[in-house]
Chains A and B, each alone.
Chain A
Amino acid sequence: MKRTGAQIVMECLAREGVEHIFGYPGGANLPLYDTLPQYPQIRHVLVRHEQAAAHAADAYARVTGKVGVCWATSGPGATNLVTGIANAWMDSVPIVCITGSVVSWLIGRDGFQEADITGITLPITKQNYLVLDVDDLAETMREAFHIASTGRPGPVLIDFPRDLQQQETEFVYPEQVNIPSYSPDVEIESGQIKKAAQLINEAERPLILAGHGVIISKAYDELKELAERANVPVICTLLGLGGFPGSHELFMGMPGMHGMYWNNIAIGEADVVMGIGMRFDDRVTGRLKDFAPNAKIIHIDIDPAEIGKNVKTVVPINGDVKQALTDLNPLVEPAKHPAWLGRIRDLREEHPSIVVPNVDNLLPQYVIKKIYEMSGPNPYIVTGVGQHQMWAAQHFWSDNRASFITSGGLGTMGFEVPAAIGAQFGRPKDLVWSICGDGGFQMTLQELATCVEYELPIKFAIINNSYLGMVRQWQHNYYDKNLQSVRMFQPDFVKMAEAFGMAGLRVSEKEQVEPAIEDALRHPGPVLIDFEVEQEEDLYPAMPPGASLAETIDQPTFEEQPEKVKSR
């Protein structure tokens, strides 16, 4: 069957079960757009900036567990994807990006809108391709999806010249993928599993640090079984939130720089720490040499390069989390650790860490907590990056799986708006909240137009303190209160929402919070709420940069609060 290059792309996407493409047209991908009417099963979503296409595909992949797809034209279209690709790379999210490239005879000759996008994205893609022969296309597409979604997932980019998109060839869909140099299915060493089981069985103060790998590998039940059987408290990293039920008595919340104080202390006291599908990121470990000084570390990860990268591991287990836990669980003896759990309970009582102060002023964490309380059991929470993100993570105690969507590794401000769009397309019937910082929101707010155009009922909550809050806090605490370029003039967000054709609400008093959230939830379409919160609220607990977990500064008690807060 003869097909053009563009048709082959679409045929392959259809066979991969792709339902949505986030994209933006331009000279070098017009043949792809030309074929869209022939493939009604695939819906193209027109974003307003290519970065949003990549973020939307990213969030879509996270909520559905499928591969997200985005495409863009050559040159600026492709380079605009870069932030989104880097974000997916750092957080191990499977996306496939297809960029149109200038016609093949212009490649390398500085053609109009040419950019060496395979060169540019080389360090931030799991694999990338420049297709120079239309006969290679089907196989390349198949490989791209295979590589993106297997092993440790990640972004794959295909650069495809416009003339080849129009070239006809015989379409043969490769039934199998065979990449001899790539073997994502790692056999788990049973010896290591036995060693791990022995350590767990002998442990008196064990802890689990569960990461994104649990969600990617869908090892929810296996993790729960392990935790319950061995009676081990579960701490979820930022990207691990949603991998273990928040209502579970063994769930301890987040560790690290802005994690719960009790977790950071407990990690120091634990005798066995199991890192499951996580990578001992510096925001989790603090100063490495003082991380978990009393613990033997078991590390389960699919990526062999992660094992031993940051911390010294006693039992390395290289393999898929679900498989590793399935092997491990039967060897783990049922146990109880009442003294250890009691110790953590005491720590929690002494240092409750995330108490929302009962003051009359409108506190940002109060708003976020209310959003959780009022949104029912199954909302999807998308956040930007900064203080609001950490508050959202601290107060996430939901049972809804894979429902906390945030930019963890790269820390991309502006993620919140396009990612909410991707999440809503992935979960069309569910409630999606986009918790935005006033700074990050302005980086991608053009996507409100996308949101209105596609009638996505996303609820945007701008935690508006007229500051780049996290940076302000750092300048205040670590740069001698020298506040530079953090105070922001803000437009009238409510009028802006209305100008985009969506509902806008403003909240500046504490008592308006509940009614506004109720109104937003009742409204069938997209709503933006501008929460004008306390401007100089600091985020706690906080581990100073370069410090160890034990040096975490807990939330100050009321007596310790500075005067400005007390006078509220």
Chain B
Amino acid sequence: MSTHTIVALVENRPGVLNKIASKWRQRGFNIESLAVGHSEVPGLSRMTFTVDGTLNDVEQVSKQMDKVIEVVKVVDLTEHNMVHRELAMVKLSATPKQRGPILEIVDIFRAKIVDVSAESVIVEVTGTEEKVDAFLEMVGPYGVAELVRTGRIAMTRGPNAPMTIDKSKIEEHKFRAAGEGKAKIGTLI
């Protein structure tokens, strides 16, 4: 058992996320984190899953995922040398007096204050899960009112780009009529 980072490039249409998530569900996997957003190709979304499992099981599900018609590509980045990050926003209860020490921690972690009020601050922190965890441990005593984390996104280091697709196909992805209804610019999956 180890943590795997699976990246999938999929057509941006209704139902795709459901179909893919279903492949994990069917085999009893718990998705630890999931991040979805647009990719470099208009019409294609990039999903990053982290799941715990044996290489064999994860490989099997990845193959099943690849069979979903709208899925263009699936790669397990775990074995690659990769950069991975997540972003978290933390709302801390902070009186004007407490702001000073909080700011210190924020500086050390190269985080950012993105909102401030008389009794609270929102801190944005980016990094690996471990870094975010460490940050949360430090600010915990100040009272975490709310926490949101995006889940891991990942990319290989160096020029190697396993998720690139055939450039000649870019236009086709953009204009193809949708599986479940038509692809509309900006629709969520």
Contact = CB atoms under 8 A, between A and B. Distances in A.
B147 interface: no
Contacts of B173: 180-181
Interface string B1-18: 000000000110011001
A309 B177 CA distance: 33
A181 B18 contact: no
Interface in B153-189: 169, 172-173, 176-182
Contacts of A127: 69, 179
A129 B60 contact: no
A119 B18 contact: yes
B66 A305 contact: yes
6 contacts: A127-B69, A133-B181, A139-B177, A140-B179, A178-B172, A180-B172
B70 interface: yes
A60 to B, nearest CB: 24
Interface in B14-36: 14-15, 18-19, 22, 26
A140 B69 CA distance: 13
A175 to B, nearest CB: 15
Q: Lowest 10 CB-CB distances: which A-B pairs, in order?
A: A305-B63, A132-B181, A180-B172, A181-B72, A130-B180, A136-B177, A180-B169, A127-B69, A182-B69, A139-B177
A288 interface: no
Most buried by B among A122, A139, A180, A182: A180
A304 interface: yes
Given A181-B70, A182-B69, A309-B60, A122 B179 contact: no
A131 B15 CA distance: 13
Contact of B67 (A122, A132, A303): A303
Contact of A147 (B69, B177, B180): B69
A465 B179 CA distance: 48
A428 interface: no
A180 B72 contact: yes
B71 interface: yes
A139 B176 CA distance: 10
B150 interface: no
Interface residues of A, number: 27
B64 interface: yes
Contact of A129 (B18, B66, B179): B179
A179 interface: yes
Interface string B51-72: 0000000011001101101111
A113 interface: no
Does more than half of chain A's interface fall in helix, strand or loop, or is it mixed? mixed
A126 interface: yes
A122 B19 contact: yes
B26 A118 contact: no
Given A122-B19, A128-B180, 16 more contacts: A118-B180, A119-B18, A122-B18, A127-B69, A127-B179, A129-B179, A129-B180, A130-B15, A130-B181, A136-B178, A178-B172, A180-B72, A181-B69, A181-B71, A309-B60, A309-B63
A317 to B, nearest CB: 16
A123 interface: yes
Nearest to A136: B177
A130 B177 CA distance: 12
A148 to B, nearest CB: 11
B180 A123 contact: no
Interface string A101-132: 00000000000000000110011001111111
A309 to B, nearest CB: 6
A305 B59 CA distance: 9
Contacts of A130: 14-15, 180-181
A140 B177 contact: yes
Contacts of B64: 305
Contacts of A123: 22, 26
B67 A118 contact: no
A303 B64 CA distance: 10
A135 B178 CA distance: 11
B125 to A, nearest CB: 36
